[in-house]
Structure 1
Amino acid sequence: MPLSGVFPIEDWDFRTADTKEGTHVIHSYPAMMIPQVARRLIERLRHLHGQASTLLDPFCGAGTVLVEAARQGLEAWGNDLNPLALKIAQARTTPLDGDALAATRAFFDAVLTPLQLATFQGPIPEFQGRDFWFQPKVSYALAFIAHQVETGVPDDAVRNLARMAFSETVRLVSNTRRGEFKLYRLPPNKLQNWDPDVLEVFRATFARYATGVEAYRPSLQAAPVLPRIVAGDARLLARVPDAYFDLMVTSPPYGDSRTTVAYGQFSRLSLEWLGVSSAEARSVDRRLLGGQPSVSPASDRKAEAPLSSATLQAQLTAISRQDERRAQEVATFYRDLAAAIRSVTQKLRPGALCGWVVANRTVKQVVLPTDVIIAELSRPLGYTVIDRITRNIPNKRMPRANSPSNVPGKTGATMTQEHVVILRFDGA
């Protein structure tokens, strides 16, 4: 029986919900699934699959699904390519020792003072573009905080939490525009008055995280096993066991990072300050789905096996009439997504239930219904659609309209809804 007939669609909007409750307060991240959606979706899948004990999130991002799965007693595995996402997810899913957490807060209050800062001798990390994105005195203060985190916090798990507070601080005190995922510098008139209190931003951020950790600590400590988080490509899932999972809940990228949500640009400055090599930090977007389009002439593309989605083929044809290259870029993303679906399939037990949470983008005024496309791509692999749910996205960062064609005055709608497609894997 479809769930949406029992649970009204409006219940999924969560317009007044606190989406930063508990450990979900730890670190912002692009296009996160809100905890209320993850929680309810897992509840629904468990209601339909009474014996479910394991859950996989192949695009785990900041770990929202993993937190909610652990709190419901499931053994959860998360996979992601982005090093920053993996660090955030680890911080969100690890219950910390209360005494060590309190001691670390007291330590930061004692040492993160202007007087102590004035005696700091460095060094200050160097990387390309550092002085473009950070004022010299901001870099100096960040280096001081990083030194205190690495040398003054003995508990490994608490230190990881402090690193995430530091990472958030990096973005908040940088010269980047607020409310953007991509890297845009503040305009000169705002930059000349930009004078962040770096020490206070970090202290307040860490204190906020600590409060969230304390709120969720009992439920995470009660979990039979903490989530397992691995670094990997969702198209391969090489470090995830086969035929092991009863449930799969995830929210894949909406499209390639270059033209939709720039996960790599969002993460780059934090990763470089955290000591990740510039080469790795700057390659995230290229390594994600659709990040390396193979743009070939139409004659070469005829030899490619068509994706098993009539809806996608029709939309690609409509896009190619306007822009052949753009159509190929979109096709590359969906080929990568299809590879991820095949990889996920190898990890599921027969009878497993999958919840895909997606937003449907528009390219060249052509809507790409990813929820429908996922259902069609999954059908030949042995899946059956058992429900679809649509929810409005309140407080969306994206504007209600943008200019996807870059033609002055010509706008198109952005993604203001999410779609949940629930599938059952009956076996290939």
Structure 2
Amino acid sequence: MAPPESWCEVGLNVRPNLHGLLRYPAMMVPKMQGDIIDAVLGVTGQDCRVLDPFVGSGTIMTEAIIRGLDFTGIDINPLAVLVCEAKAAIDAGADVNGAAKTVIHYLRTDIQETIDVEFNNRSKWFSDESAMHLSRVRRGIEQVADRAARKVLWTAFAETVRKSSNSRTSTYKLHIRKDDELVEGSRVASIFEDVLRQTLYRIEEYRKEHLAGRARKPKVRIICSDVRVAKLGKSAKQHDILVTSPPYGDNQTTIPYGQFSYLTLQWIPEIDLPAGWSSDHISNTHALDSSSLGGSKVGAMEKAETMKFTSPTFAAFVKTARNAGNTAAIQKVGCFTYDFLESLSQIRSQSSSSAHWILTTGNRTASGMRVPFDAICRDIVEFLGGKPIATLQRELPSKRMPSRNSVGEMITAEATLVAEFA
């Protein structure tokens, strides 16, 4: 089935209002996900809870609450959860305008030259001047009494860190910018104020367009946890709609969400990080990615054997890899798909017996072999009792994924599987 053209558009207009608060890695297309949710609602009715076990920056969450649907999201990354909490706070009516005035007034009066945060290699990623100005912004945000409004400000702060640190913005991995691309520390405050203005505009746009005529205020729960052990809690709804785009492989060789988040998480005070976050996950630049799906290779061959009985597609992949003497591919893909199976098993065990699942996946390259993750995902869904009812193929207009001179080849297409559980 071919997707509509609106699902393949690019540019700023693709991510309106809250969808564009932070340039988070590999964000989904809001229009596409919203259309799919609407199609499922046409069959199930409104008595549903929407789930996203890999919530990221909250594309699915935003599309769900726009429609007045209760939502539960999970992510191991504290920054992702914080951004989702910020969006939920905006939807709930947090006074962000008042909070912004407090911060701007503080920035006009703070002349301290202290640096409030230190961590390993801080001077590599932030000059002393940049760190001084970021410290002023940080102190300004701390002046805001309302924690919900602070979450929104920390999201603007995260975008400021992304734009002003010494790490390149052209990649989600931490790489030092070229000398002629470094941002002067004196520009930090103006960058923050510009991001804040854009944030306030997006909030106004969102509230005008989506809140006035909405029938009900949705219940939102965001869980900071490894999805493999997350507790969803009970829902009064009769039907669950799981909509997600899981990682396509281990973070270290696909998209390093942890590296992307590391610098910002060094700056945000612990009191404002989500409940359930672990300091171990931000102890170094690789810790969070190593704790994510496929990050550990312990018991790799045993996990691969388990997956062979779960997924015929994976079993065929292993046979091809063995014939090529590619043990590394078996171990890498086996660990990731096993962890992914555990994740979906955990969700299925806690969700409504009646459910629709919509999973968008892509096929990456691991150790020189193309991984048929879309077909493996389908096998896992069927193993858990789901019945596939449709598959949508979409060519990607652009995707910030590993390039040919990196660890893998470019992912150029995605598959969206729609399945139902009776």
TM-score by length of 2: 0.88
Find the residue that maps to 1:18 and give its secondary structure. helix
- Aligned match of 1:291: 295
Q: Does 2:326 align with 1:318? A: no
- Aligned match of 1:135: 127
String of CA shifts for 1:291-348, please: whole Å, max 9, x gaps: 111265x6x6786563411112222333342431232011100001111121121133
After superposition, where does 1:94-173 map in structure 2 within 5 Å? Answer: 94-95=89-90, 100-113=95-108, 116-117=109-110, 119-151=111-143, 153-173=144-164
- Within the candidate set 32, 39, 45, 2:34 is matched to 39
CA contact 1:175–1:185 (8 Å) conserved in 2: yes
Q: Does 2:408 align with 1:419? A: no
- Aligned match of 1:366: 369
Find the residue that maps to 1:403 and give its secondary structure. coil
Q: C-alpha distance in 2, partners of 1:304/1:391?
A: 31
Q: C-alpha distance in 2, partners of 1:184/1:70?
A: 36
Find the residue that maps to 2:23 and give its secondary structure. coil
Amino acid in the other structure paired with 1:208: Q
Amino acid in the other structure paired with 2:116: I
CA contact 2:94–2:148 (8 Å) conserved in 1: no
Q: C-alpha distance in 2, partners of 1:172/1:248?
A: 33
Amino acid in the other structure paired with 2:188: V
Q: Give the 3 Å change call, closer, same or farther, for CA 367–247 of structure 1 in structure 2.
A: same
Q: Give the 3 Å change call, closer, same or farther, for CA 96–354 of structure 1 in structure 2.
A: closer
Q: Does 2:223 align with 1:233? A: no
Amino acid in the other structure paired with 2:329: R
Q: Give the 3 Å change call, closer, same or farther, for CA 227–189 of structure 1 in structure 2.
A: same
Q: C-alpha distance in 1, partners of 2:167/2:401?
A: 17
- Aligned match of 2:187: 197
After superposition, where does 1:213-228 map in structure 2 within 5 Å? Answer: 213-218=203-208, 219-220=210-211, 222=214, 223-228=216-221
TM-score by length of 1: 0.87
Comparing 170-179 with 141-150, which one deviates more in the overlay? Answer: 170-179
Q: C-alpha distance in 2, partners of 1:376/1:99?
A: 43
Give the drift of 1:103. 2.8
- Aligned match of 1:409: none
Amino acid in the other structure paired with 1:319: A
CA contact 1:173–1:196 (8 Å) conserved in 2: no
String of CA shifts for 1:252-274, please: whole Å, max 9, x gaps: 11110110000100000000111
Comparing 80-89 with 16-25, which one deviates more in the overlay? Answer: 16-25
Amino acid in the other structure paired with 1:136: D
After superposition, where does 1:13-28 map in structure 2 within 5 Å? Answer: 13-15=8-10, 18-28=13-23
Give the drift of 1:284. 1.2
Q: C-alpha distance in 1, partners of 2:357/2:304?
A: 32
- Within the candidate set 246, 257, 277, 1:263 is matched to 257
Give the drift of 1:226. 3.5
Q: C-alpha distance in 2, partners of 1:368/1:238?
A: 30
Percent same amino acid among aligned pairs? 29
Comparing 238-247 with 53-62, which one deviates more in the overlay? Answer: 238-247
Q: C-alpha distance in 2, partners of 1:200/1:139?
A: 14
Find the residue that maps to 1:385 and give its secondary structure. strand
Amino acid in the other structure paired with 1:420: T
Instruction: Output the aligned Cα RMSD.
Output: 2.6
Q: Give the 3 Å change call, closer, same or farther, for CA 272–347 of structure 1 in structure 2.
A: same
CA contact 2:314–2:376 (8 Å) conserved in 1: yes
Give the drift of 1:178. 1.6
Q: C-alpha distance in 2, partners of 1:149/1:71?
A: 28
Structure with the larger helix share:
2
Q: C-alpha distance in 2, partners of 1:16/1:146?
A: 31
String of CA shifts for 1:189-246, please: whole Å, max 9, x gaps: 544x755600000001111111111222252574422421112222232244389642
Q: Give the 3 Å change call, closer, same or farther, for CA 137–208 of structure 1 in structure 2.
A: same
Q: Does 2:346 align with 1:354? A: no
CA contact 1:362–1:368 (8 Å) conserved in 2: yes
String of CA shifts for 1:26-59, please: whole Å, max 9, x gaps: 1121111121122112111112323542111111
Structure 2 unaligned spans of 5+: 271-277
- Aligned match of 2:273: none
CA contact 2:3–2:393 (8 Å) conserved in 1: no
Find the residue that maps to 2:13 and give its secondary structure. coil
CA contact 1:120–1:144 (8 Å) conserved in 2: yes
Amino acid in the other structure paired with 2:250: D
Q: Give the 3 Å change call, closer, same or farther, for CA 103–243 of structure 1 in structure 2.
A: closer
Give the drift of 1:95. 2.6
Amino acid in the other structure paired with 2:189: L
Structure 1 unaligned spans of 5+: 406-411
- Aligned match of 2:65: 70
